[in-house]
Copies of this chain bind each other. A is one copy, B any other.
Amino acid sequence: MPDLFQIVACDPASRARAGVVRTAHGSVETPIFMPVGTRGTVKALSPEEVRAHRGQIILGNTYHLYLLPGHELIARRGGLHRFMHWDGPILTDSGGFQVFSLVYGAIADEIKGRRPQHGDLKPNMVKVTDDGVLFRSYIDGSEHLFTPERSIAIQHQLGADIILCFDELPPFRAGYEYTARSMHERTHLWEQRCLTYHQQRYSPHTGPQPPRQALFGIVHGGVFPDLRRESAELLGSMPFDGLCIGGSLGATKAQMYEVVDMTVPYMPDNRARHLLGVGDVDDLIEGTARGIDMFDCVSPTRLGRHGTALVRDRERNWKLNVTNAALREDDAPLDAWCDCYTCQHYSRAYIHYLFRAKELFGIRLVSLHNVAFLLKLTSEMRASIIAGSFTDFYAAWLGRAWG
């Protein structure tokens, strides 16, 4: 298998590395944050804006796109890239996370501090078997079946550059037995089925060009070191083009970092590592220090819609509430370090006003800023790894030495 992932530089003190992921729609320089375009749009932003603010790759959600407008419609319109006018790399997830959130949503949301996405869902909307997951559409109540093969087939039709294996997501509070059984009897078997199905369409990758679609496996095992190691070693031995860290990442940031620490050493160095669904400022830095290459999260646009701007201020947990009355006459940009369009041209006072007046442009400006903020962060983090100054970068942002 040719190297779709190339390491450009490694930090000598940590596991941080700068690399390049090659895809059919261009290369991605890592570490990278990928903005999430859940439904075929990075909410409120144009593709040009994302690109102009260092955006290299975006993530689309198979579950949502499957239900509306449907993967077949998107395929008929020329695939997701053409449909949404994004000609750079796209990664789609498998739909698993959303489908299992229908069952375990309340718990996952509680842990992650999120509100449920679908008001009144009931566990009986979903039925899980060894074959896959039967679920009802939140749009019209119709019944749908996701199996590993079906998820890959849908992702083939959407046409993303990187697609993910269909996995089972145990509830967060699942203990060792449940997590181990889920991993052994479901997720690992399902990932093998995804790989087999994928290889029927794309023969093993050879030659200098990246594959039309790359398939990433997902390492599971919850918070349990032996399970994480087993999963990482097994999936690392299979011909996946890259690997994600998925499943339960623990209840706290500290536990998440432990999970990464217990997993990364058993993942192959020569493949990209994607930590699924993580995008807080400190998590991007801590994750990179621990050997993660790719991150994604809806948080920058979600925070933007709710009037929270990311700022380079550790004391404030990197967040500024733009509806705070203290900003009423504040002539400063959202963040002095940021170089985004919003921070170049608009004051906190104006943005505060837009949110008070419930003007859509406020959502747009803060969403753009938040996405740009994380992209500048990962870009500068990469540069520091190449320059050999990553631990300085780490200390400057987090206020403590690495290690």
Contacts and interface: CB of A to CB of B under 8 A. Distances in A.
Contacts of A28: none
B43 A359 contact: yes
B41 A346 contact: no
B364 A44 contact: yes
A45 interface: yes
Given A73-B349, A361-B41, A68 B356 contact: yes
Interface of A: 39-41, 43-46, 64, 68-69, 73, 76-77, 83-85, 328-329, 331, 341, 345-347, 349-350, 353-354, 356-357, 359-361, 363-364
Given A345-B85, A350-B84, A359 B73 contact: no
Contacts of A69: 328, 349, 353, 356-357
B44 A85 contact: no
B77 A347 contact: yes
Nearest to A82: B347
A69 B350 CA distance: 9
A364 B346 CA distance: 19
A361 B329 contact: no
A378 to B, nearest CB: 24
Contacts of A359: 39-41, 43
B363 A360 contact: yes
Q: Please indicate which of the listed interface residues A45, A83, A341 has the most CB atoms of chain B within 10 Å of its own CB.
A: A83
Contact of A353 (B40, B43, B44, B364): B40
Contacts of A44: 360-361, 364
A58 to B, nearest CB: 13
A389 to B, nearest CB: 35
A331 B357 CA distance: 36
A43 B363 CA distance: 11
Given A46-B341, A69-B328, 9 more contacts: A40-B350, A41-B354, A43-B360, A44-B364, A68-B357, A69-B349, A73-B349, A85-B345, A360-B360
